[in-house]
Structure 1
Amino acid sequence: MGLSPKSKRRLQRILPFGVIWFVIGLFVLFIQEAATGNKNINPNAAITLTPKVFVFAMTSVTLIGLLMGTIEVLWLGNLFNNKSFYKKILYKLGLYSFLLLITIIIVYPIAASIELGLPVFHQMVLQKLSNFLISLDFLSTMVSIAVSLFAGLFYSEISQNVGDAVLKNFFTGKYHKPIQEKRIFLFCDMKSSTTIAEHLGHIEYFKMLKAYYADFTNAIINHSGSVYQYVGDEIIISWKYEEGIKNNNWINCFLAMKQDLHDKAEWYKNNFGLAPTFKSGFHVGEVTTGEIGTLKKEIIFTGDVLNTTARIQGLCNTYNVDILISEKLIKELKPEESLKIMSQGIAELKGKEEKMELFTVLRNS
């Protein structure tokens, strides 16, 4: 049984921490050995870099990076969400530095025991640890750790702001040249958003919008979706075609979003005096995907499928339904007993010559 989309995403976010720590650790060791001519100039405190010590050091550094990534992704990353960027970095640097100081005190004797061929708790090993903690080598180690920490935390914050997939695509250069690909799109728009904004006022409306989008997160992650854009009260979600049709991810994402928002209805009423709802439009088709921009780079999709999806979503009020799906996409829906498909007839989309049959889907009780 394979990993769930949520587990895959977590793993994809954690692995770069290990890579960052490995690369910086390798660079620091190279600089140290080059500067000293591959000689240990302070054998009472520093550990001689033998092949066994090298393998242990690089393994330890990578595992520490992965441990840091795991803590960051699963817990600490959300702890300072309300803090500014630089405060997040400073607070986390302080906490991680304390944890890593403890790690050094644990790992160093093991490395020393490998170098000396003695038990970890041998008097010579412990004496070497004591010498190390008051030496310049210790300060040098702490500086290299601080650099690794900062690089890892900087990556974490940037990936959260621009999105993991976008950051990965920028690094790999996948979309430096435009490519064509088949994608599924969901345009999801809050109902009566203008009236709600006028009723709540700008600040309270923004707070509600922030919570509203946050409540979609699990559904999107669990069904392999990715957020393309937030446009005011509208969110555009996209799937690569193969990922979208797998396990009916595209429709199950919508149903999960609807259920999660329904489950929080009382919370919204208690905090904002109302419970938001939304309407959605689905379509599938070819898009051109590429990197664009000079002052600010983005990866964007262009193609008729986006305009068509927006037009489909705009007809939800006309048909008095929460969801409308194009005929082209409904044909890709794998049969599920829990789903009821209903045709809404042939529709004429604004600005489009070609008419299209639209469908809505309900989950059977």
Structure 2
Amino acid sequence: MRSLQQFKRLAILVVAWTMAMSLYVSFRYSQSLTLPQWAVGESDLYTLTVFMGVIFGCLHWLSNLISEVTFIRRMPYTFIVLFKGVFLLIGATTIAYVSQLLTMWALSNHVVSLRQMLTMQIVYSPSFQGLILYLVFVRLGIAFVEQMTLLMGRRMLLNIGLGKYHRPRYENRVFLFVDMVASTAHAESLGDYRFSRLIQDSFEVLSDVAARHDAEIYRFMGDAALISWTIEDGAQEQRCLRLYFDFMQQLNWQRAGFEKYYGFLPRFKAAAHCGQVVVAVVGVNKQEISYFSDVLNTLARLQDQCTPLGQNMLISGELKSQLYETNDLHYEEMGPIMLKGKQNPIEVYGVETRYASSASKA
């Protein structure tokens, strides 16, 4: 699953850079009535466009991957952008030298010496400097989109761009509420700084897991996170349940690191519920997409019942009716439960999996 996600990211970046490079090549040679000396026909220009798009797309993807899996992700965002820019500079230089090599090949019909290729003539050429300037604008533009995607989510960013939620509209969605157990005690024992690092490390794992389950992290709220799908996506392969157990398993696999730095492995409890919500963009100077519905209030009240009922995960009967039975998930009927602030009881089910040892009960 993770490999597939990385492949999708790579494909998107290659397509984006190919489109950007097609504009560059078009403007670069549109003013000339003749083709460059190395080009036999216009098809060679298209080949150059794809070549540049693949190189810059791969370098962009590689720089993102390195930033995600190393200490660089903790660095200031400006440093990360500069770091990624080095990869583009390498790509630009590579293309410039390859283009120069093709030109010299066309003129002399043989490969020039390495000494001739490594002259400063390419660096000082107006075409190379123009390419670098263009790359800066494209890289900053894509970096802006990537950062907005991280802050808002891919779907939300697209919908805001399309103006989909500028007028409130109804949607049927599934919500998963994940909350850290004994967070107050952890904050007191660790102190504010180390506790905030614990939250960062925990939710970094959660973000990776959410991406694998095609989930949207709607909001982080201190030591809790609210995750969402459409009902169809959330019910598919029971993602709205498996995400939680996958998260617990991933934390357990990193137990040694958490125990080394914090002295314990954090535990989380969860609740899931579904229903109709109103979705709308709120705010003027700072906008965000918000959900309005009693579904979220019910979800919070349901999560509060995890500890009294001795369960790690609870779901509503309404959500269970949307899911199909599987052998590796077990539902335990808790009966109708009267939630705080509600007038009528709701059906509640506890959910366990064969990986329940990764998230043992309190």
The answer to whether TM tops 0.5 is yes
Could you tell me which amino acid in structure 2 is paired with residue 203 of structure 1?
Y
TM-superposed deviation, 1:77 = 4.5
Is 2:53 the counterpart of 1:62? yes
Unaligned 5+ residue runs, structure 1? none
Q: Secondary structure at the match of 1:18?
A: helix
Quick one: which of 333, 344, 348 aligns to 2:334? 344
In structure 1, the partner of 2:215 is 225
Deviations 1:42-88 (A, max 9, x none): x7xx8679522331232223223421343134334544212112121
Deviations 1:310-346 (A, max 9, x none): 1110111221211111011112232222222111121
Is 2:77 the counterpart of 1:81? no
CA contact (8 A) 1:93 1:150 kept: no
In structure 2, the partner of 1:10 is 6
Distance 1:359 1:25, change over 3 A: same
Is 2:300 the counterpart of 1:310? yes
What is the CA RMSD across the aligned residues, in angstroms? 3.1
Quick one: which of 253, 274, 278 aligns to 1:263? 253
TM-score (norm: length of structure 1): 0.84
TM-superposed deviation, 1:261 = 2.0
In structure 1, the partner of 2:290 is 300
In structure 2, the partner of 1:363 is 353
Q: Secondary structure at the match of 1:336?
A: coil
Query: Which is worse superposed, 330-339 or 226-235?
Result: 330-339
Distance 1:264 1:77, change over 3 A: closer
TM-superposed deviation, 1:244 = 1.1
Deviations 1:294-314 (A, max 9, x none): 111112222121111111101
Quick one: which of 185, 192, 198 aligns to 2:188? 198
CA contact (8 A) 2:311 2:350 kept: yes
Could you tell me which amino acid in structure 2 is paired with residue 88 of structure 1?
I
In structure 1, the partner of 2:278 is 288
- Correspondences of 1:70-109 after superposition (within 5 Å): 70-79=61-70, 80-109=72-101
Could you tell me which amino acid in structure 1 is paired with residue 350 of structure 2?
T
Distance 1:49 1:85, change over 3 A: farther
CA contact (8 A) 1:109 1:129 kept: no
Q: Secondary structure at the match of 1:276?
A: coil
Distance 1:65 1:31, change over 3 A: same
Quick one: which of 144, 147, 155 aligns to 2:137? 147
Deviations 1:127-173 (A, max 9, x none): 89976555322222232233333333343334333333333333343
Q: Secondary structure at the match of 1:171?
A: helix
- Structure 1 moving runs of 4+ over 6 Å: 46-49, 126-131
In structure 1, the partner of 2:359 is none
TM-superposed deviation, 1:245 = 1.0
CA contact (8 A) 1:288 1:301 kept: yes
Unaligned 5+ residue runs, structure 2? 356-362
Could you tell me which amino acid in structure 1 is paired with residue 32 of structure 2?
N
Aligned equivalents of 1:284, 1:108: Cα separation in 2: 60
TM-superposed deviation, 1:263 = 2.7
In structure 2, the partner of 1:161 is 151
Distance 1:347 1:64, change over 3 A: same
Aligned equivalents of 1:336, 1:276: Cα separation in 2: 28
TM-superposed deviation, 1:20 = 4.0
In structure 1, the partner of 2:241 is 251
Deviations 1:156-200 (A, max 9, x none): 334333333333333343333333221111111111111111111
Q: Secondary structure at the match of 2:249?
A: helix
Quick one: which of 301, 304, 323 aligns to 2:313? 323
TM-score (norm: length of structure 2): 0.85
CA contact (8 A) 1:97 1:146 kept: no
Aligned pairs, number: 352
TM-superposed deviation, 1:17 = 3.0
Aligned equivalents of 1:156, 1:72: Cα separation in 2: 13
CA contact (8 A) 1:89 1:154 kept: no
Aligned equivalents of 1:76, 1:167: Cα separation in 2: 22
Distance 1:264 1:272, change over 3 A: same
Deviations 1:2-50 (A, max 9, x none): xx4x45543554444335434443443454456xx43469x7xx86795
In structure 1, the partner of 2:32 is 38
Q: Secondary structure at the match of 1:332?
A: coil
Could you tell me which amino acid in structure 1 is paired with residue 167 of structure 2?
K
In structure 1, the partner of 2:322 is 332
Percentage of matched positions with identical amino acids: 23
Aligned equivalents of 2:134, 2:128: Cα separation in 1: 10
